[in-house]
């Protein structure tokens, strides 16, 4: 409708009506944004990682899935390569839940023999390491990196970030570094996933092969293969202890 300026002789103009939309509740929008920020914050993701790992550890203590593997599952239900592949998947999940790898390696040798058992155990090792690395990288890295203030922590982080492949290869070759600790330390560092997996695969061959052969020849403990396997288990452990002691002395001297 025209708003006529009748007595002043002015020009008639149309008064536009502002478009009025449905009201948006600002409080609801603000609450949703805050809830999303809290849920995606580094400390919330780290808490989720701790909860997942704690739940996995409790599940292992209650249900003892390693007993299923050592007593023949899944070899009893499947056969040949299919059983070895299923064992590798179960192996990887069990390592994320902190089941000791030596036990799983011995079971792989006892169930599948030296060759197929080694392939299954190595595949499970790489799978479990990759899962742990991805969990630590996505859920824990942003929260934990600001806490790297100690001398030893900074040294380990710098070594893994600058020389990731070489450092992880050494950690896998010498059994002094726990498997899960190496996975999550690498995840918190700036090391890439491909060199981490390659170093894990190559560095895990000697130790894994020794346990698998020992498991495959456990019925003949006096055989040369079993005795050589035991020597290959003991000697790297001794060498790793010596190297760790020397590195400890160098770090103290800095």
Averaged pLDDT of the chain: 78
The pLDDT tens digits of the residues spanning 50-76 come to 887 788 778 777 777 767 776 666 666
Q: Tell me: pLDDT of 79 over 90.
A: no
The pLDDT tens digits of the residues spanning 221-240 come to 888 888 888 888 887 777 76
Residues of the chain with pLDDT > 70, as a percent, come to 67
Of 108, 83, 82, give the one whose Cα is nearest residue 95: 108
Give the separation between CA 184 and CA 74, rounded to whole angstroms: 29
Q: Tell me: pLDDT of 81 over 80.
A: yes
Of 113, 114, 90, 91, give the one whose Cα is nearest residue 102: 91
Residue 6, pLDDT score: 47
């Amino acid at each position: 409708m025209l708003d006529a300026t009748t007595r002043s002789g002015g020009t008639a103009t149309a008064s536009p009506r502002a478009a009025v939309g449905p009201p948006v509740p600002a409080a609801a929008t603000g609450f949703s944004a805050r809830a999303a920020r809290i849920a995606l914050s580094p400390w919330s993701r780290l808490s989720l990682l701790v909860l997942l790992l704690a739940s996995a550890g409790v599940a292992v203590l209650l249900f003892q899935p390693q007993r299923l593997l050592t007593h023949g599952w899944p070899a009893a239900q499947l056969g040949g390569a299919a059983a070895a592949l299923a064992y590798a998947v179960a192996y990887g999940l069990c390592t994320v839940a902190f089941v000791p790898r030596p036990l799983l390696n011995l079971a792989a040798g006892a169930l599948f023999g030296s060759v197929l058992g080694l392939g299954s155990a190595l595949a499970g090792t790489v799978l479990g390491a990759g899962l742990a690395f991805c969990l630590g990288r996505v859920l824990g890295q942003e929260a934990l990196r600001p806490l790297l203030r100690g001398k030893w922590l900074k040294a380990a982080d710098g070594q893994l970030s600058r020389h990731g492949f070489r450092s992880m290869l050494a950690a896998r070759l010498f059994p002094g570094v726990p498997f899960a600790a190496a996975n999550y330390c690498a995840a918190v560092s700036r090391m890439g996933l491909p060199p981490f997996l390659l170093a894990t695969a190559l560095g895990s061959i000697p130790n894994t092969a020794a346990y698998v052969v020992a498991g495959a020849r456990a019925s003949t403990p006096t055989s040369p293969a079993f005795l050589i396997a035991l020597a290959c288990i003991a000697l790297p452990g001794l060498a790793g202890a010596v190297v760790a002691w020397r590195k400890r002395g160098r770090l103290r001297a800095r």
